[in-house]
Chain A
């Protein structure tokens, strides 16, 4: 059992446990904190997969900006655990069973997929800013500009909605 497999197992266990914590904890603030743990574990996976730029962006954007925004909104709303009304129990079980059924079907369908393995020792520089920036500004200029328009419209929309 190599060191990469051990790191993968630990990170995966942390990610799945904290993802379960997100959906099972009663207090929404605990859910957000579990989500941050899950995102940090996923960022660890990124750096295991030679995606250094995505690792940094994931930590800054997701853990630093989006989750703090969630936390900010939650604390502004002053929600407590007893405010959330409980769903009827059979609906909860139906949700869990249908999610589990989807898990079962996907795992059964992809169990025998023949895909090549990942060589963990094979360090590449494909995830560095230099390579990604070259590809972004040559092959993917149009999506990049479109996403800037999307950001502008999202910003205007958030301001307009928030002002009412």
Chain B
């Protein structure tokens, strides 16, 4: 199976994530779209890892470890980001990013 299929799938998922960030106003949905983009990149890394294994490279595990680190950073980011969104919601009773963009009050 050509690895181009995986490249196109990742591009499609990444662009759907970008469209979501640009189109929606709900801060939580925007957060989820960022997760979607991270996952598109993860999928491409795993596909390239498999491609390297089939090409006979022995150090192909590095790509899968990169995916692992991306997951670690995403988990940390989500915990802090959701805490910030909850705090904003307590102050303004909204998760609309136009209200959040004022930052004061």
Which A residues contact B (CB, under 8 angstroms)? 2, 4-5, 8, 12, 15-16, 19-20, 22-23, 28, 31-32, 35, 38-39, 42, 45-46, 49-51, 53-54, 57-58, 61-62, 65-66, 69-70, 73-74, 76-77, 79, 83-85, 87, 91-92, 94-96, 98-100, 102-103, 106-107, 110-111, 113, 115-120, 122, 124, 126-127, 131-132, 135-136, 139-140, 143, 147, 150-151, 153-155, 157-158, 161-162, 164
User: What chain B residues lie within 8 Å of A87 (beta carbons)?
Assistant: 23-25
Known: A42-B43, A54-B67, A61-B71. A126 touches B28 (CB 8 A): no
- What is the size, in residues, of chain B's interface with A at 8 Å between Cβ atoms? 72
Interchain CB contact under 8 A, B72 and A110: no
10 A-B pairs with least C-beta separation: A95-B22, A99-B19, A23-B20, A154-B76, A103-B15, A95-B23, A161-B83, A158-B83, A49-B50, A135-B61
User: What chain A residues lie within 8 Å of B94 (beta carbons)?
Assistant: 83
